[in-house]
Structure 1
Amino acid sequence: MSEVLGLRHSHEAWCALEVSFLYRSKTCELQLKDELQLMQRGSQFVVEFSHTFKGLCDQLAAIGHSIDNTDKVHWYLRALGPDYKIFFTTMMSQLPLPSFIEIVLKTLSHEIFERSVSHSSSNSAYYVQQTSKSVGAKKWKNRPPPSSSSSAHSKSSSTVHCQLCDNDGHLAKCC
């Protein structure tokens, strides 16, 4: 009401409202764009991050300032962080650039793949460590006693080295 109070014609009232709300709309647009450009995924899962990012894009569209696909994809991929550096480069090098929705789906698939690889790697590392310990202990127990003959200590005989894992899973030289 305060914007149109005292105006005589409807045209004047509409012009006054347009100017008033245009300023607020422009401020809101810039604020939302800044949020998009400065956004970082951090420790969020990709699905949570994608939802927040898309929400800001939807708010911009609702006030009549949609982000074009290239900017949206670029800002989104950049915000994923350094863990997605190779993924970012791969996606940005595709011509034509995938749509935002395609990028989100590929990012979700990539995150699932990375989790499965790191999970299986940690399980494999644990298995190798445990197996090495037990095999190393058996080799050490079943090792023949050192020979007392002088030929075993002669310079002409070759020195045999074996590698075993110590209790911490690190390789330790013996023999």
Structure 2
Amino acid sequence: MEWTIRSEEPDDAAGIAAVLTDAFSREDEAELVSLIRNSDTYDPELSLVCIEDETIVGYVLFSPVVIRAKDCDETPALALAPMAVLSKFRNQGIGTALIEEGIHRSYQKGTKIIVVLGEPGYYRRFRFESAKAHEIKPPWEVPEGAFMVLSLETNALRDVHGVVHYPEAFSHTTNTPQ
């Protein structure tokens, strides 16, 4: 099977929604992406699709967030959410390729920190580590170890701590990002 990864294009919205709905068995993530796509935080270069035979089979989005300390110091970062692959295309490396490309593009744009809420065993392969260990907290209650952080530059996490603040669109969905 041959597939390619590229930035989202204007005609991709329905295909992305189909992937997200299939992967999560609900529409919350598709609604989230639609809200972000129509906001001022959306960056099409960090909204990636995987295409096979002209069909979108995978998707990942990186959105700007800030890590806000108690003293109101803010550190910019990106949040990886959501990431999905059509169920019949899973376990073929598509999710890995999407995340690696997104991390690469994020770094190229000058991003130093990425956060993710997800399965620790999966995201550790990309060098994500416990956010709690760095005193970086999610704005919601999450399972122990599920909130992680990735430093894209040596010492990027030095003196960074606080609560991650997500774009407004994340507050409009009924579930936390996956």
TM-score normalised to structure 1 length: 0.27
Structure ranking higher in helix proportion = 1
Greater relative contact order structure (CA < 8 Å, 6+ sep): 2
**Bigger Rg over Cα:** 1
